[in-house]
Chain A
Amino acid sequence: MSEAAQFAIVTTIVVGAAIVLGTIAPVLMEGRAVTRAFDNMARQPSVADRIRGLLFVVLAILESGAIYVLLICLILLFANPFEGMLGL
């Protein structure tokens, strides 16, 4: 197997594993945040609008954990710095 093919295979496997493992924690935490928010919206409908507004902002911030993983994956796929070093 040529070095380029090896490089492509390893990159693909690593990126696939990274996106699976890296999104587990953010998604679980987002689920917890949504559960608590809905619980409290049902308990206190008077502040439901404020909770909903804050929930979206908090979700967007929690989402950034998964976004960092995606960024690393995109860099590995499209702008891998080691590609030039190996001369592929």
Chain B
Amino acid sequence: MSVESVFPQTVFRLLGIPVKDSVLQALFIVLALSIFAVVTSRRYRVWGPRPWQLAVEYLVETIENLIRDTSGRSLPQLVPFLTTMILFIATANVLGIIPLLQAPTRDLNTTVALALVALGSWIYYGVQSRGIGGYVRSFVEPVALMLPLNILGFFSRALSMTLRLFGNVVASEVIGAVLFALVPVLGPLPLTILGLLTSVLQALVFTVLTFVFIVDAMGQEEERAETTASAS
């Protein structure tokens, strides 16, 4: 295993487009998580839940608490999206621990796709909460002079999230490969354990940042609701 093998290799060509192995690994994760979700929901039991069901419930409750702690309001419509995102990224980041498999997020294209999903969610929830006019107007707040800066900030958020996730995963994989070349037995182990920690942490960071920017796009809905409630 050399350092070059960390970077994604082309497996085959589909209609002239090279398909990297990271695509297949990402599809494998999608398939595995879908089967897991279907099986867990089919076996759902109110009385005497199984450990798997408890684990999933714990995860969903953690996301709900995260939303309440970070934004101060409960947004139940965001829970499925954010839970899916953290599950996919965390699984994708730690997939490299299984022999013959590698983390699909070590490919820049995967993280760009994830950031595009996040970017779409900012627009979707922003438009849903404020209306198209209100959302477009949020780009010229506080003054129209800020329009270029706001647009730049909108895209650089996605760019920084992309590079942060990609950089962390590639860094831990490259360090593992270099240490493996130096000391093959037990050498990379401590850094692999550290890599597992940072992988899960980066999934959390990606999700939290997505959520924070969604709330930013949604605007001060809470205050508006309070003022109407106090007016009536």
Interface on A for B, CB 8 Å cutoff? 50, 56-57, 60-61, 63-64, 67-68, 70-71, 74, 78
Contacts and interface: CB of A to CB of B under 8 A. Distances in A.
Task: Bin the interface of chain B by size.
Answer: 20 to 34
A70 B164 CA distance: 11
B168 interface: yes
Contacts, number: 41
Contact of B198 (A60, A68, A71): A60
Interface in B49-107: 69
A67 B3 contact: no
B163 A57 contact: no
A27 to B, nearest CB: 15
Nearest to A67: B167
Contacts of A63: 168, 198
A84 B201 CA distance: 37
B201 A60 contact: yes
Contact of A64 (B164, B174, B204): B164
Interface string B200-227: 0110110011000000000000000000
Contacts of A68: 163, 167
18 contacts: A50-B69, A56-B201, A57-B204, A57-B208, A60-B168, A60-B202, A61-B164, A63-B168, A63-B198, A64-B164, A67-B168, A68-B163, A68-B167, A70-B171, A71-B167, A71-B170, A78-B3, A78-B7
**Consensus secondary structure, chain B interface:** helix
Contact of B166 (A56, A71, A78): A71
A66 B160 CA distance: 13
A63 to B, nearest CB: 7
A49 B167 CA distance: 28
Contacts of A56: 201, 204
Given A64-B167, A74-B174, 12 more contacts: A56-B204, A57-B205, A60-B198, A61-B209, A63-B168, A64-B164, A67-B163, A67-B168, A67-B171, A68-B167, A70-B171, A71-B163
A70 B172 CA distance: 11
